[in-house]
Structure 1
Amino acid sequence: MGPERERVPEWGHGRERAASPRERAAAVRDRSAPRARLDQPLDQPRVRRPRILPEYDPEEFGRLSERIARFLGTGRFIVWMTVFIITWLTWNISAPAALRFDPYPFIFLTLMLSLQASYAAPLILLAQNRQDDRDRVNLEQDRAQNERSIADTEYLTREIAALRMGLGEVATRDWIRSELEDLVRELEERRAVFPPGASARSDEGDR
């Protein structure tokens, strides 16, 4: 006999019917769902894998490289390096033969200087890259600031133009004075044509 088939209640009847393959697959998924959720990386902390290379902070290493590159570009480094090389050469030339650890042609000194150059060049390049990144960020900020300044200037220009247009329709002191002078002149002309005494005498004659 084959494996026992799961039986589910049949709708509308009191008996059970055999589960279809689709229903059995859905039941398997339902039973395996909690375990599948536990396997997701968001449900559990990620297991840290052992690293072969040592871990370091890129930001701290970058700051250290900038300090070293800044020191290499100073006159103090050149003076100390010159004193070191002169002392090295003087010791290996004038010291007794038994105490000379790097006789002529000073191969060990050459290797040390080559090692220093091989480390100094990448450190200087790293410091330059960090400086380029900062310059790029500063340039973007300056560009954004300039764009805001241009937008503010254009807005103020439009506001000033609107104020000028509005002031063109406002009555100014000179315009009011000229209108009052015209009214006074018109009243004087009417008074000259129709004097006040003439109108009184015409009223008495009518009586």
Structure 2
Amino acid sequence: MSEPVAPYLTVGLSTVVRSITSRAQIAHNLDIVEEAVHAAVSVVGINMPVKLIALAEGALTGFADEILDIPHVTAARDLFVNIPGPETERLAALARHYDTYIVAQCKARWPEILPDRFFNTLFVISPAGEIVHRAAKNHVWCRERSCTPHDVYDRWVELFGDGIDAFYPVLRTDDIGNLGTICCSDGE
């Protein structure tokens, strides 16, 4: 039998986001995220530890590809992140500093699946600063151009299998419990 999870607090942050037109502009959004994390943990973590910080979808990259009608391959090559990469390392530094998990969702390349394509990707960074979980959004809004696992089904199954965990993975932890990562569009 597993031990019960000790009580902890979570923080959900919805920050101001600049829709990016170049990858370098993600740094501005990360500056805002860092300030918000420092402020939130300082205020909320007074009586109980903050063990989970969740960022709003698009907090790093925004949705300029949809708004500006940027072709998918161009957006994949020029705008979106790699996981891991310099952007996730900045979040990893915060996770280590506050000994907390950080959950973020942004448009990211998965070159091991398909080059020049991106997925709307949820990822989790552990308190040790390691990426311990990734999940691709399965259902996208009509304007969203992100690939989904079903768009590349044969390759997805080859890499991750065809069970429910391949499409709706769960992160199992001893310190904060299990985190389900059902990524879907607004209203679903």
- TM-score of the pair, normalised by structure 1: 0.17
- TM-score of the pair, normalised by structure 2: 0.18
Higher normalized strand content (fraction of residues): 2
Structure with the larger RCO, 1 or 2 (CA within 8 Å, 6+ apart): 2
Higher normalized helix content (fraction of residues): 1
